[in-house]
Every structure is written in structure tokens, then in C-alpha cells.
Amino acid sequence: MVIERSSNTVSDLFDGVTLTLFQAEVGTTISVDVERDLSNVKAGIANFITSYNELRQELNFQLNVDPTSGAADEDAVLFGNSALEEMDRRLETIVGGGADGVSGAFSVLAQIGIDFIANGDLEDPTLRDTLELNEEQLDDALLNNLGDLQKLFQFDFAASDPRVVLLGFDGNSTFSAAGYTMDIDYDEGGGSINGLTMSDGVASANGNTITIDSGGAKGLRLFYSGDSDLSGVTLDFTVGVGAKLFFDLGEILDSDGGVIASEADSLTGQNELAEERTVSMLDRLERERESVLNKFIRMEAALASMNQTLAQVRQITEAMFQDR
């Protein structure tokens, strides 16, 4: 096979590989070995641990109660916040529970060297349930079981018929050991799917694109490249820790309707109401101050008038006694 390019840079020959050609001699064969860049994979996992620990420490700070005083830190303004408590529970469940349906060498993070620190008698309570890394164990997993390590983190899909492929999923899919089966009624004349039957739930089609709307496989979007009916195709998938965190935290952190956004809207509303009440109270206090001030001024004027009258009475009385 002869390949010609207009420049010395070839980026469309192998996926993810760019070749830069500096010199060549006719008839010379050059061998190119391509290996995975495991250092980037390891760096990505290290970043995952760092990000998780930062989130965990902030949650711990906001939710922690001092065992001596029985109170939260004065700067923990979100103490008792239901949204944070929900996030705390979900993180613990996902990271501690591992991947769903994985049958390879790894199903939980501890098997690749990522584990919770020993809480014990921690001097810093914000470190509770943070993660630590055993690099030697991770390196072994990267070198010898990269495929299984990927399954531990990602969403993996397989159909019993190669004509059914995954387009996407939204995180609502629930793993089933038995898988899910689907029958496709195909309209050969119209060249599109006419109907779908699921072993669990309901699916709909637009042309040859399939969306599973309910049931355990809800959220899967598939494409069927066949041109005839298909019966009993099995859909199997596994849900890794990374996929769980991505969609679960995405639901919590979604700026449009997420748990945190809803809580922020609620707090904003409460703050605005408090400000309105404060302004109203200040207005009322100002009116009361003016009223008291006016009363004081009138009282001062009345006292001055009374003192003047008293002085006049005293003068008259003294004059009367002098006349005697």
C-alpha cells in the first residue's frame, strides 16, 4: 500500500497517532511500534484521587461535629445541609461499592491500589474517608491488566448481534446479570424500524436509532445497521466507578435543576427574604426612632413651657409676700 501526503506530517493513518517524517531513503523499511502511554493513564487516575479527596475534605469540613463541643465549626455555613448530606452518602456508596457487573480481575478500587485511609484516630477529621494510592499495586494493574482496569472505571456495552451498537447512555441504566433482550420488527420496504419489544421496559425508534425509555436499560441509545427483523438480541453492559460518579454527581451538580442548584436557589430565596425583612425592620425602627424623637422634642418643649410657667408663678408668689 502506497500512501502519499502533501506534508511530512501524517495524522490520519492510525487512530490517535501522528507521524512526522524527517528523512527517507528509497527501499528502506522502518518499523514503528506503538504502545499505550500508561503515564497519562496513571496521571489521570492520580488526578481523580486528588479531585475526590478535595471534594471529600470539603464535605467533611461542612458536616463535621466537634466531639468535644458537640457543635460544627463556625465557618461551616452549610452544616446540616440536606444536599451535602445526600452527596456524602452517594460518594461513599459509589466509591466503596465499586463497579456493577464487571467479571474481570478488578471490581473495586482497592484491587488496583486505591483504598480509603484508615480513619482510626485522625488528627484532622476532614481526612475521613479520603483515598490513598498504592503506586506499586496500580503500576502492576496498568502493566498486566489494562483492559480490566478500564472496565473498572468506564461504561462497557456489548450486544449479542454486532449490528446493534451503542450510541450513548445517560447514566440511568441498571446492570442486570441476565442482561436485557430485545426484538426488532423491521420494515424492509420503508428501511426503518417498525416496532420494538423489550424484556424489561419500553423502547422507541426513530429510523434505525433506538432509545430505551423505561426499565433497567433505560437511557441506552442504540443503532441498528441491519435490514431485517431481529429476535432475541441480548444487551449486556457493566457500569464502572467513573461512569457512576460522572452521572451521579452530574445529577447533583447540574446547574439546571440539580440538587445543589435547587439548594442554592432555596438559600438565595431565604437570603432575599431575610434582606427584605431586614429592610422592613430598619424602616420600622427608623419610623419608631422618629416618633420617639418627636415625642422627646414635644416633651422638651412642654418642660420648657412648664418651667417658664413655674418661674412666673414663683415671681408672682414672691411679689405677693413682699407686699405684706
142-197 per-position pLDDT tens digit: 999 998 998 899 888 999 999 999 999 888 888 888 889 999 999 998 899 999 99
Single-letter amino acid, residue 257: G
Angle of helix 135-144 versus helix 146-153 axis, rounded to 10: 110
Same domain, 61 and 144: yes
Rounded to the nearest 5 percent, the helix, strand and coil shares of the chain are 45, 20, 35
Where is the domain boundary, 121, 136, 152? 152
For 12-47, how does the pLDDT look when each residue is reduced to its tens digit (9 = 90+)? 777 767 878 777 677 777 777 766 778 888 999 999
| Distance of alpha carbon 93 from alpha carbon 131, whole angstroms | 14
In a domain, 171, yes or no: yes
Where is the domain boundary, 152, 186, 212? 152
Question: Which grid coordinates belong to 281?
Answer: 425592620
| Distance of alpha carbon 134 from alpha carbon 112, whole angstroms | 8
Q: Return the pLDDT at 133.
A: 94
For every residue of 136-158, DSSP letters joined together read HHHHHHHHH-HHHHHHHHSEEEE
- The structural domain count of the chain equals 2
In a domain, 77, yes or no: yes
Handedness of CA 60, 61, 62, 64 (dihedral sign): positive
| Distance of alpha carbon 222 from alpha carbon 166, whole angstroms | 5
Instruction: Give me the domain span that covers residue 140.
Output: 38-152
For 65-122, how does the pLDDT look when each residue is reduced to its tens digit (9 = 90+)? 777 777 777 776 667 777 778 888 888 888 888 888 888 889 999 999 999 988 877 7
| Distance of alpha carbon 186 from alpha carbon 217, whole angstroms | 21
Question: Which grid coordinates belong to 22?
Answer: 524527517
| Distance of alpha carbon 294 from alpha carbon 287, whole angstroms | 10
Same domain, 43 and 146: yes
Mean pLDDT of 135-148: 92
- The helices-and-strands tally (H runs, E runs) of the chain is 6, 12
Instruction: Report yes or no: 252 and 83 within 8 Å, Cβ to Cβ.
Output: yes
Same domain, 74 and 128: yes
What is the C-alpha end-to-end distance of the chain, expressed in Å? 146
Same domain, 146 and 201: no
Where is the domain boundary, 243, 260, 280? 243
Which range, 181-195, 237-251, 262-276, is most confident?
181-195
In a domain, 91, yes or no: yes
In a domain, 127, yes or no: yes
Radius of gyration of the chain (CA): 37
Selection from 108, 113, 112 nearest residue 96 by Cα: 108
| Distance of alpha carbon 56 from alpha carbon 129, whole angstroms | 7
